[in-house]
Structure 1
Amino acid sequence: MVAFKPKRAAQAARDTQNVSTPNDLIVVARLGVAYGVKGWIKIHPFSHSPDALENAGVWWLAPYLPNQTDVPLSAWQAVEVQTIKPHSDEWVAVFADWDDRSIAENHKGWQVAVSRADFPNTDDNEFYWVDLIGATVVNHAGVTLGVLQGLLESAAHPVMQITGEGGEYLIPFVGAFVGEVDTTAKIVNVEWDVDATA
């Protein structure tokens, strides 16, 4: 079984009590049940690949509250990641000073966030959805379709959920329909007729 030490572990602060909470935290996973007796815990990433989790030396944890939309920065607790590794079809991790099963049990269901700055770089034509949410979507004729509100997972490919004055558009996020994407200006260009779906 392959175990990964976070790629940024050398940069992770040893004293996580004195680390200031970044203002660019992105929730990327949830903690599961305890694994074993030495403080390990199961991790449920929200994406197919836990690249951001593997890349960050410090994770930020906060209790999950069903009716809470925004977690105050003061609620996040920093933990130094010692190891994250695959286990069957899941992931498990252990943190510095988590040396007892009861610690892991007390954090079941907690949210896991990492700083956006800790996300690994993407290749050309690869994007993190967090960078696209809220982008303006414009078609080939220069007509603004609306704002990209979310991503719907389908068996074949992801689908952009766009809302605008013309209604809702569901556009596959594939090369046939998606042109230039400018994450800095937050603009996504698409090949899509206004009356195709609304």
Structure 2
Amino acid sequence: MTESGSTSGELVTVGRITAVYGVRGWVKVHSYTEPMDNILQFHGWWLRGEDGWEPLQIDGGRRHGKGLIVHIKDVDDRDLAARYCQRDIAISREQMPALAEGEYYWHQLEGLRVVSHFEGGEHDFGKVVRLMETGANDVMVVRGGKDGRERLIPYLPGEYITDIDLEAGVITVDWDPEF
């Protein structure tokens, strides 16, 4: 990081620049926000570089077809814009909107240990390595634990997710260890 004491732990990845668009410095952006154009409301973008995160200024952005395009400030050439492609976009954690009690951002759940008290015994499934959308519901990808397996556990609070304790770093699930 290069700005006022920021560290990558204070940043949240919200999208990725994927490809150039046109010849005047516009690029396509894949947004991880919901809805996708919420990414355009954030200020102070950071772009992952070879030596860490660097500030990125955009001076325009809009929906285009099924995606988004943005213009990088002072970049008016397709070849120069190409240098920004295939790189992650992040914002400072403080810019994330507050959530209601019992709601969590994916980045808060990633890295948490997942345990089950299925049939009276405690089972450690490992850690949440990522979450993914499936259409019907979100799914936690959990890897590690005593058996080293990867498990896909539906993220359904009240059904399979019985407790989330961010301070302790633990998600408790109602999940059969054999599954």
Give the structure-1-normalised TM-score: 0.69
Cα 1:121–1:32 shift into 2, 3 Å: same
1:174 matched to which residue of 2? Answer: 156
Number of aligned positions between the proteins: 170
Identify unmatched segments of 5+ residues in structure 2.
Answer: none
Structure 1 segment 1-198 matched on structure 2, within 5 A: 19-20=3-4, 22-23=6-7, 24=9, 25-46=11-32, 49-50=35-36, 53-63=39-49, 72-73=51-52, 76-140=53-117, 141=120, 143-146=122-125, 147-162=127-142, 163-168=144-149, 169-175=151-157, 176-195=159-178, 197=179
Which of structures 1 and 2 has the larger relative contact order (alpha carbons within 8 angstroms, sep 6+)?
1
Aligned partner of 1:6 in structure 2 is none
RMSD in angstroms over aligned alpha carbons? 2.8
Which structure shows the higher strand fraction?
2
Which whole-Å CA distance do the structure 2 matches of 1:56 and 1:142 have between them? 45
In structure 2, the CA distance between the partners of 1:166 and 1:34, relative to structure 1 (3 Å rule), is closer
Q: Secondary structure at the match of 2:57?
A: strand
Structure 1 unaligned blocks of 5 or more: 1-17, 64-70
Identical counterparts, % of pairs: 29
Query: Structure 1's 72 and 32: CA in aligned 2 closer, same or farther, altered over 3 A?
Result: same
Q: Flag the 1:137–1:110 CA change in 2: closer, same or farther, 3 A.
A: closer
Question: How has the CA–CA distance of structure 1 residues 149 and 107 changed in structure 2, closer, same or farther, with 3 Å as cutoff?
Answer: closer
